Structure 1
Amino acid sequence: MDVEPLRPGAPGPRRASRRRDRHGRGRRFDLIPPHLPGYRTRREVFDDLVAESGATLAERFPRRLAHLRVLVEEVPPTDPAPWEDAAVLLGRALPATREHPPRAILYRRPIQTRCASEEDLEALVRQVLSEQVGSLLGIAPEDVDPGAWED
């Protein structure tokens, strides 16, 4: 299973970029050191959370999700499909075609705006991902990831 963003510049460890010496003041450093929580952006945290959740599901269904690609987009498209509601989408499942393997797409901004804490974000990501994978596999989301639906 692959997890990758649809935007350019994949998340990952920050590379030490060459920073120029401006006005003879010496090398410029990051404002927040790597050991503090604010070092990572909300996008990086979300991408890692989706990758962890997708990897957990791939371990649970190794044969059926071997070719699944979990993608992250910022916002859903403005033109929903005819069978979709006019409500804001949190995710979308696209079945396999000749050109593409099956894909589960999660929309970062709508999901993050509905969450007040990290725990809420993790729970909502797991629920949305289990709904999308369940629709691809033809099984109930509660059977895909039972832990995501416990209250």
Structure 2
Amino acid sequence: MQSQPHVPGFTPRWTEAEGTDASGDQAEQSAGPGRSFRRRRRNRHGRGLRGELMLPNLPGFRSRSERFDDMVLDSAERLQDMWGKQLDGVLFAVDEIPPDLEVLVAKGGPAPMGSYTPGGRGQAPMITVYRRVVEQGSTNREELQDLVHDVVVEYTAEMLGVPPETLDPVYRRRYQ
């Protein structure tokens, strides 16, 4: 928008598009010339972002937390394939840090990498893996994947009441 100082009484103003309702919120509009400046994807010169920066088929599309969730899901599916009905209804969750981590650190105790919550009164048993603690325990992606699998196996074995070595034959193979 260019200013026109020679026109008396000219003041530039932002105007809302025609899709504005009484509360001031804009309704969804088609991609036409009536869209406001804030609703445009690209700037007024036709430059700017045209779409996604990273395509979904490239490795950088998913965040670290999403990749960690996938690792937990892969380990849970592997155990489900091996043990079947004994793991039906078990919930696997990922949390950032354990609850009351400050208290554990103040007492000098190690931070847990996961937890097992038994089910009861209509709730399914849940195995939680703490992402930040597990990530700090590994140095590279392969080691992280092995450590995630070991944590899932340990807490699943605790839930079933069996030794982890009998639950999964590749448990702790990287440490030997």
TM-score by length of 1: 0.77
Query: 1:22 aligned to 2:45?
Result: no
> What amino acid is the match of 1:54?
A
Aligned identity (percent) is 34
Instruction: Indicate the residue corresponding to 1:44 in structure 2.
Output: 66
Gaps of 5+ in 2: 1-38
Matches within 5 A, 1:57-136: 57-78=79-100, 86-136=109-159
Q: Within 2, Cα distance between the matches of 1:96 and 1:36? A: 39
How far residue 145 of structure 1 moved from its aligned partner, in angstroms, is: 1.5
Q: Does the CA-based 8 Å contact 1:69-1:101 persist in structure 2?
A: yes
Q: Residues 32, 94 of structure 1: CA spacing in aligned structure 2 closer, same or farther, 3 A cutoff? A: same
Q: Which moved more, 1:35-44 or 1:122-131?
A: 35-44
Q: Within 2, Cα distance between the matches of 1:64 and 1:22? A: 53
Instruction: Identify the structure with bigger relative contact order (alpha carbons < 8 Å, sequence gap 6+).
Output: 1
Q: Does the CA-based 8 Å contact 1:111-1:124 persist in structure 2?
A: yes
Cα shift readout 1:82-127 (whole Å, capped 9, x = no counterpart): xxx9311100011111131111000111111221111101110111
Q: Within 2, Cα distance between the matches of 1:112 and 1:20? A: 39
The alignment yields a C-alpha RMSD, in angstroms, of: 2.2
Instruction: Indicate the residue corresponding to 1:56 in structure 2.
Output: 78
Gaps of 5+ in 1: 1-18
Q: Residues 23, 74 of structure 1: CA spacing in aligned structure 2 closer, same or farther, 3 A cutoff? A: same
Cα shift readout 1:43-77 (whole Å, capped 9, x = no counterpart): 11111111011011011111210111101111110
Q: Does the CA-based 8 Å contact 1:94-1:102 persist in structure 2?
A: yes
Q: Within 2, Cα distance between the matches of 1:38 and 1:95? A: 36
Q: Residues 20, 72 of structure 1: CA spacing in aligned structure 2 closer, same or farther, 3 A cutoff? A: farther
TM-score by length of 2: 0.66
Q: Which moved more, 1:103-112 or 1:20-29?
A: 20-29
> What amino acid is the match of 2:134?
I
Structure with the greater alpha carbon radius of gyration: 2
